[in-house]
Amino acid sequence: MKLIVGLGNPGKKYERTRHNVGFLAVDWLAGEMRWQESARARALYTKIDLNGMAVELLKPTTYMNESGVAVAYVAKKHGLKSADIIVVHDDKDIPLGEIRAQPGRGAAGHHGVLSIIERLGTKDFWRVRVGIAPAAGVRGDTAEFVLAKFTKEEQGILLQAIERAGEEIKRILSS
């Protein structure tokens, strides 16, 4: 079994914000599957089959900086190794629409990833980073930027990026 975690913040206020592209990516993978809530895991989850493999998709219902709580709980419950975990999240240092996937990277200032590293005690899991930065780069307050919604012009690029992130996850699973 594999675990794919989409990072984001819960609640209507944060829907479709830059910080929630991880949620959007796992929603794309889930398709029409229904999400269930686990109070113990503090997350929403659904199970799917990807490339012939059993996969649990996870959306922590904590705020970003506590994402590791849900990931550690589910990893322990299923006896998963860190190599069985893929985390999808936003990256303000990558141009909007670009995707980068790498295992074993540090948090690079991302509080959700840092929480997961701290709770798992390792950074040896896959990260699929979805770029959210405008061409000119991020200016001003970073927190304000990542909690902002995408502009109409950016939404088309975002949808393509979410699909590419999903395809990258499928590639990782088949390797």
- Let me know if 89 is a catalytic residue: no
Single out the residue of 108, 148, 120, 121 nearest to residue 132, CA to CA: 148
4 DSSP β-pair partners: 57, 86
Q: Which of 19, 89, 110, 111 is catalytic?
A: 19
Q: Are 35 and 46 in contact (CB under 8 A)?
A: yes
Q: Are 23 and 29 in contact (CB under 8 A)?
A: no
Active site residues: 19
